[in-house]
Amino acid sequence: MSPRIETADILIIGAGPAGSVAAALLRQQGRDVLVLEKEQFPRFSIGESLLPQSMAYIEKAGMLRAVVEAGFQYKNGAAFAHGEKRTQFDFRDKSSPGWGTTYQVQRADFDKVLADEAERMGATVRYRHEVLAVDVEGERPRVQVRAPDGEEYTVEAGFLLDASGFARILPRLLKLEKPSGFPVRGAIFTHVRDNIAPGSAAFDRNKILITVHPQHQDVWYWTIPFSNGRCSLGVVAEQSFLARYEGSESERLRAIVGQDPGLSAVLADAEWDTPARQIVGYSANVESLWGRNYALLGNAGEFLDPVFSSGVTIAFTSASLAADCLARRTAGEVVDWEAEYGKPLRGGVDAFRRFVDAWYAGGFQKIIFHEKPNAEIRRMICSILAGYAWDRSNPYVAEARRLKILEEVCGG
């Protein structure tokens, strides 16, 4: 007996933020959408501090009310610390128009909210369905799938969107991957009950706290507060640094956190009640973000680095761009996927990349901790930290040299 063959107008691999928002936008167009997700939601994921730019896509997808009513931690900015140096950005004080606030979310809950909304809008979401093989050589993509009961079947689709995140299904199966250009970095992370006193002067729950290691400018910690009294806590460094520490992941993380007096004081009463985890070599890139009847969304296409929390914003932007291209395709227009999807998406990603490079080289840290910042320039920088990396009216988006010049001025 041959495996059954199903058909779908649009097949999306992955029910994370990119997949769910893409499904909702396509359902608004009246498309038949099937989403295949390998895991069972809710499931753990990092990438928990959203950027305000992402709210526009949540609103566009018709998911805003559900996200607001979920009760996530309000977020209005980012705080930075390095030894005795302190600075913070209020995202409402930015040069770009648009949302200035957002949320800090436990992704298990957030992703389930989005996936449930996609289902409510009429998308079919199947959990624990694993993609085994993909064929994009024919007129319509064909995807071989294994169901939870072990049965295998094939889905033939009009178009395929890969929103599989770090699983990177199409890049892996179609051999699209290429080196990211970043050094091999890793992250050790956990969730703790932080027990930080309400109103603490050292910690604003409305902001992510990014702490630079006292001796190593390319090593940094994240502290992301949630609305239930817990925090996401992690450290990011090159693998050679992390390898110096022995013991369990929790022991290694506690030892590295203990090296920063300020962060140790903030977390002095924390309960370390969840085993830490580690990921290594997360940065990724591809030869192309699209191909014959398929496109790569979010982390499936490219992941930079977690330092500026850009992952979910890039995922949502890719979903919106792809949905717009598919709407024009359905209307009978000829879509230039490189000009209308690949190039615009990479434009914002490359703007983020410049800031990531400058962060690890130390130049951007000189900018944000500068004692006499220019208020107008600071608002432009704030816009990028808030996710508006596609706003080409911002000189620090449109002109790559601007950031380098500013680094030289602030480091002089």
Give tens-digit pLDDT for 216-272. Answer: 999 999 999 999 999 999 999 999 999 999 999 999 999 999 999 999 999 999 999
The confidence band for 1, taking pLDDT boundaries of 50, 70 and 90, is: low
Burial of 199 (0-12, 13-18, 19+ CB in 10 A): exposed
- Provide the pLDDT for residue 3: 76
The confidence band for 201, taking pLDDT boundaries of 50, 70 and 90, is: confident
69 CB-near residues (< 8 Å, 6+ apart): none
- Provide the pLDDT for residue 275: 97
The confidence band for 65, taking pLDDT boundaries of 50, 70 and 90, is: very high
Burial of 301 (0-12, 13-18, 19+ CB in 10 A): buried
The confidence band for 2, taking pLDDT boundaries of 50, 70 and 90, is: low
Mean pLDDT of 378-391: 97
The mean pLDDT of the chain is 94
Mean pLDDT of 150-166: 96
- Provide the pLDDT for residue 362: 93
- Provide the pLDDT for residue 412: 53
pLDDT score of 199 more than 90: no
In this predicted model, what pLDDT tens digit does every residue of 321-343 receive, in sequence order? Answer: 999 999 999 999 999 999 999 99
Mean pLDDT of 173-183: 83
- Provide the pLDDT for residue 181: 76
Do the two domains 5-46+53-73+99-178+284-348 and 185-280 of this chain adopt the same fold? no
What is 5-46+53-73+99-178+284-348's CATH superfamily? Answer: FAD/NAD(P)-binding domain (3.50.50.60)
- Provide the pLDDT for residue 348: 95
Structural fold of domain 185-280: D-Amino Acid Oxidase; Chain A, domain 2 (3.30.9)
* Angstrom distance (rounded) from CA 136 to CA 75: 42
Lowest mean pLDDT among 173-177, 300-304, 360-364: 300-304
pLDDT score of 136 more than 80: yes
* Angstrom distance (rounded) from CA 366 to CA 30: 50
In this predicted model, what pLDDT tens digit does every residue of 37-55 receive, in sequence order? Answer: 999 999 999 899 999 999 9
Which residues on adjacent β-strands are paired with residue 211? 81, 221
- Of 188 and 299, the structure prediction assigns the larger pLDDT to 188
* Angstrom distance (rounded) from CA 352 to CA 388: 9
Share of the chain above pLDDT 70, in %: 99
In this predicted model, what pLDDT tens digit does every residue of 97-125 receive, in sequence order? Answer: 999 999 999 999 999 999 999 999 999 99
- Provide the pLDDT for residue 198: 84
- Of 412 and 58, the structure prediction assigns the larger pLDDT to 58
Domain definitions of the chain by residue range: 5-46+53-73+99-178+284-348, 185-280, 362-411
